[in-house]
Amino acid sequence: MSHVIQDQRPATVPARRGSPLAHARMPRWAPAAIAVGSVAAGIGIGLAAGWESRVQWGMIAALLFVVATYVITTAVENSRQAKDRVATSLVWVCFVLAVVPLASLSWVTVSKGLEVLDPYFLSHSMNGVLDAETGGGVYHALLGTIEQVAIAAVIAAPIGMLTAIYLVEYGRGRLSQAVTFFVDVMTGVPSIVAGLFILATWNLMLGFGPSGFAGSMALAILMMPVVVRSTEEMLKLVPNELREASLALGVPKWKTILKVVLPTAIGGITTGVMLAIARITGETAPVLLLVFGTKLINPNPFEGAQASLPLYVYEQYAVGTDAAVARAWGAALVLIAFVMILNLVARGIARWKAPKTGR
Amino acid sequence: MAKRIDVSGLSAYYGNHRAIDDISMTVEPRSVTAFIGPSGCGKSTFLRTLNRMHEVTPGGRVEGKVMLDDQNLYGKDVDPVAVRRTVGMVFQRPNPFPTMSIFDNVAAGLRLNGRYRKSELNDVVERSLKGANLWNEVKDRLNKPGSGLSGGQQQRLCIARAIAVEPDVLLMDEPCSALDPISTLAIEDLICELKERFTIVIVTHNMQQAARVSDRTAFFNLAAVGQPGKLVEIDDTERIFSNPSVQATEDYISGRFG
């Protein structure tokens, strides 16, 4: 007896309209078409009603987009699909809402900043430049910012990283709870308070004058909790198995942390430190109190007033003449570019140092 | 090399919870001892007390004695780091160091302990990788990252890393549970070769594996969930699998358990 193995398939049933698995579907371009339609309708309604505000036009377009998506999908497909598509369209609306201010900010800063940004602007100070005059530059402020931020990072990064290592690898009980609590509190300290604290202790009690270093100390206070938090998160991501593997080889705990845990997390830690640096680079308040600002180039952060980019922007904008406001935009562009370069460097280091998985 | 382990009256705790209770046994040198038993009965915990890894867990503590030849591992002046250099361990999931190359992974124990001569290092790495039956597969890519290997290769890399520091005892915590049958076979063959040089203790959920590789088998059990695990019996593997002296062992091995 020979067996022929046969796949016993039921006779194919032609797909009917009433099949529970199939229903009418909208074409792929439908969401885009609805979006274009609602934007057009929003503009039309705005023009017809004679509204000035473009924001209002956008709001109406966004509202129309969500409502139209729901109505059309319910009619063509079904109500479950409609809910799905409404959720998608809400995500898109929120995305646009988030991108519009960002794009507008970048556009305004770049277009206004480029008017004054040239090698002369980057290589000269404000020495002898009158407020209403064009010319002058940000060299002294850029130099001050770089020095102050570098000193702050040198103070805050090691302390912050060591604190995080203590919290993750060693901390047990009361002390670590207290440290965690105070780090959280420090995260919320307004920058002006950090500035006032240094002003009260360093300048008023100990009698030092304004200097870049005083500003650095205030910036370090602001930077430390950010470094602790990000380093802590990165160290927690290191699998415990790696620590155990190292300990089981007879490697002491401190060496395990130094040679196994830190190298595994170094990419993320670097990114965290760089982001913390980016955060303090734009701080104005403590710099205003402690570094004081000057028109001259002062390369020594430990002696005498210095300038700094955010402070420069503030001062120039406060002057209010056309030339000064243009300089303020130029300095804002330099500041944003500086922070962006730092972030790109951080990304590069993180990618370079990340654990390799390739074959 | 290859020392005898003599455990007496050992209990291990997680905080106030007693995980294993009053265990005594002897592990012969140059032999393979397998631990079997249901999940949660304390096999792994007991294994980790043998190289003082148990106390790495927060709240972990141990009572009792573990004699390695004539040295009590829980004696007063014993340094746990030194214990772990003598008693190596291989874990359930392969865990090569992701930042290091294959070469550096094997050399990690020596390098991090800082007791090696540079000229030795190449020899040690080659010897260990050959010992772990991995040399032929990786000799052309020693400077590639260890995490690029397959699961079975990674586990053999971890074994090579463990034997590179020349321990006296090798503890293996379910070394094959994450591997396919072919990699499992490779590791079982390896265990049979390694027992010429080391004292090996292996935890396994696979009864056939215990029967294949081990000389002696210990059966652990727990009275109920939340109760501490206990050693039911330890005997020659043949006896345990053919004619165990305790009914519970026979029930567990034959699958009539529950």
Q: Which of B112, B142, B172 to mutate: most A Cβ within 10 Å?
A: B112
The predicted-structure confidence for A146-171, as pLDDT tens digits, reads as follows 999 999 999 999 999 999 999 999 98
**Is beta strand B87-90 parallel, antiparallel or unpaired with respect to B169-173?**
parallel
CA distance A136 to A126: 5
Q: Tell me: pLDDT of A177 over 90.
A: yes
Residue B45 burial (CB < 10 Å; 0-12/13-18/19+)?
Answer: buried
Residue among B51, B81, B161 whose CB faces A252 most closely:
B81
pLDDT of residue A169: 92
Of B53, B86, B113, the CB nearest to A251: B113
Residue A186 pLDDT more than 60? yes
pLDDT at residue A5, rounded to an integer: 67
Bridge-partner residues for B171, per DSSP? B89, B201
Q: Is pLDDT at A7 greater than 70 in this prediction?
A: no
Return mean pLDDT, chain B. 88
How far is it, in rounded angstroms, from Cα A65 to Cα A136? 49
**CATH number for region A139-353:** 1.10.3720.10
pLDDT computed for residue B256 by the predictor: 75
Give me the domain span that covers residue B79: 5-254
CA A245 to chain centre: 36
> Across the A/B interface, how many CB contacts are shorter than 8 Å?
88
Section A128-137 average pLDDT:
86
pLDDT of residue A81: 87
Probe site for chain B from A266, A353, A356 (most B CB atoms < 10 A): A356
* Nearest chain B CA: its distance from A227 CA (Å): 23
- Can you give the pTM of this predicted structure? 0.83
Q: Could you tell me which chain B residue has the CA closest to the CA of A358?
A: B148
Count CA within 13 A, CB hemisphere, residue A111. 6
Euclidean distance between CA atoms A219 and A191, whole angstroms = 8
Q: Check pLDDT > 70 for residue A18.
A: no
In chain B, the residue whose alpha carbon lies closest to the alpha carbon of A354 is B99
> Which residue among A242, A249, A359 sits closest to B109, beta carbon to beta carbon?
A249
Q: Does the pLDDT of residue B133 top 70, yes or no? A: yes
pLDDT for the residue A90: 93
Q: Is the pLDDT assigned to residue A10 strictly greater than 70? A: no
Alpha carbon of B148: minimum distance to chain A alpha carbons (Å): 5
Residue contact B91–A259, C-beta within 8 A? no
pLDDT, tens only, A199-253: 999 999 999 989 999 999 999 999 999 999 999 999 999 999 999 999 999 899 9
- Chain B nearest C-alpha distance from A160 (Å): 23
pLDDT digits (tens, 9 = 90+) for A59-118: 889 999 999 999 998 888 888 888 999 999 999 999 999 999 999 999 999 999 998 999
CA distance A170 to chain B (A): 10
CATH number where B171 lies: 3.40.50.300
pLDDT of residue A225: 95
Give yes or no for B116 touching A (CB within 8 A): no
Task: Tell me how close the Cα of A241 comes to any Cα of chain B, in angstroms.
Answer: 6
- Let me know if A275 is exposed, middle or buried by CB neighbors in 10 A (0-12, 13-18, 19+): middle
Which residues, 6+ apart, have CB-to-CB distance to A315 below 8 Å?
A: A293
From the list B83, B91, B145, the residue facing A357 with the nearest CB is B145
The alpha carbon dihedral of A144, A148, A153, A155 has a sign of positive
Q: Residues of CATH 1.10.3720.10 domain(s) within chain A?
A: 139-353
For residue B150, the chain A residue with the least C-alpha distance is A359
Mark A237-263 as b/e (b = at least 16 C-beta within 10 Å). Answer: ebeeebbbbbbbbbbbbebbbebbbbb
pLDDT of residue B179: 81
- Side chain identity at A151, as an amino acid letter? I
pLDDT at residue B49, rounded to an integer: 92
Closest by Cβ to A358, choosing from B112, B148, B158:
B148
Q: Which tokens belong to B13?
A: 């705790």
Record the tokens describing residue A285, joined without a space: 């308040």
Chain A residues in contact with chain B using a Cβ-Cβ cutoff of 8 Å? 172, 239, 241-252, 255-256, 259-260, 263-264, 355-359
Burial class (CB in 10 A: 0-12, 13-18, 19+), A98: exposed
Quick one: pLDDT at residue A86?
A: 92
**pLDDT tens-digit map of B96-127:** 998 889 999 999 988 888 767 778 888 989 98
Q: Model confidence over A28-61: pLDDT tens digits?
A: 888 899 999 999 998 898 888 888 888 888 888 9
**Amino acid identity for residue A27 in this structure:** P
Query: Is B231:B218 a contact under the CB 8 Å cutoff?
Result: yes
Task: Look at A250 and B165 and tell me if their CB atoms are within 8 Å.
Answer: yes
Q: What is the pLDDT of residue A347?
A: 84
Closest Cα in chain A, distance from residue B243 (Å): 36
As a three-state string, the secondary structure of chain B is: CCCCEEEEEEEEEECCEEEEEEEEEEECCCCEEEEECCCCCCHHHHHHHCCCCHHHCCCEEEEEEEEECCEECCCCCCCHHHHHHHEEEECCCCCCCCCCEHHHHHHHHHHHHCCCCHHHHHHHHHHHHHHCCCHHHHCCCCCCEHHHCCHHHHHHHHHHHHHHCCCCEEEEECCCCCCCHHHHHHHHHHHHHHCCCCEEEEECCCHHHHHHHCCEEEEEEECCCCCCEEEEEEEEHHHHHHCCCCHHHHHHHHCCCC
The amino acid that residue A14 corresponds to is P
Q: SS3 string of chain A?
A: CCCCCCCCCCCCCCCCCCCCCCCCCCCCCHHHHHHHHHHHHHHHHHHHHCCCCHHHHHHHHHHHHHHHHHHHHHHHCCHHHHHHHHHHHHHHHHHHHHHHHHHHHHHHHHHHHCCCCCHHHHHCCCCCCCCCCCCCCCHHHHHHHHHHHHHHHHHHHHHHHHHHHHHHHHCCHHHHHHHHHHHHHHHCCCHHHHHHHHHHHHHHHCCCCCCHHHHHHHHHHHHHHHHHHHHHHHHHHCCHHHHHHHHHCCCCHHHHHHHHHHHHHHHHHHHHHHHHHHHHHCCCHHHHHHCECCCCCCCCCCCCCECCHHHHHHHHHHHCCHHHHHHHHHHHHHHHHHHHHHHHHHHHHHHHHCCCCCC
Does the distance separating the beta carbons of B144 and A248 come in below 8 Å?
no
Cross-chain residue pair A246–B97, CB shorter than 8 Å: yes
Side chain identity at residue B108, one-letter code? A
Q: Does B113 touch chain A (CB under 8 A)?
A: yes
- pLDDT of A274 > 60? The answer is yes
Judged by a CB distance cut-off of 8 A, whether residue B78 touches chain A is: no
- The predicted pLDDT at position A359 comes to 41
Residues of A within 8 A of B144 (CB-CB) are 358-359
How distant is the Cα of B224 from the closest Cα of chain A, in angstroms?
29
| Contact: A260, B147; criterion CB under 8 Å | no
Closest chain B residue to the Cα of A265, Cα to Cα: B99
What's at A212, amino acid-wise?
G
Q: What is the pLDDT of residues B171-208, one digit of tens each?
A: 999 888 888 888 888 889 889 988 888 899 999 988 88
B54 touches chain A (CB under 8 A): no
The answer to whether the beta carbons of residues B188 and B201 sit under 8 Å apart is: no
Quick one: which of B103, B138, B139, B142 has its CA closest to B124? Answer: B103
Taking phi over 0 as left and psi of -120 to 50 as alpha, with beta for the rest, B174 belongs to: left
pLDDT bin (cut points 50, 70, 90) of residue A292 is: confident
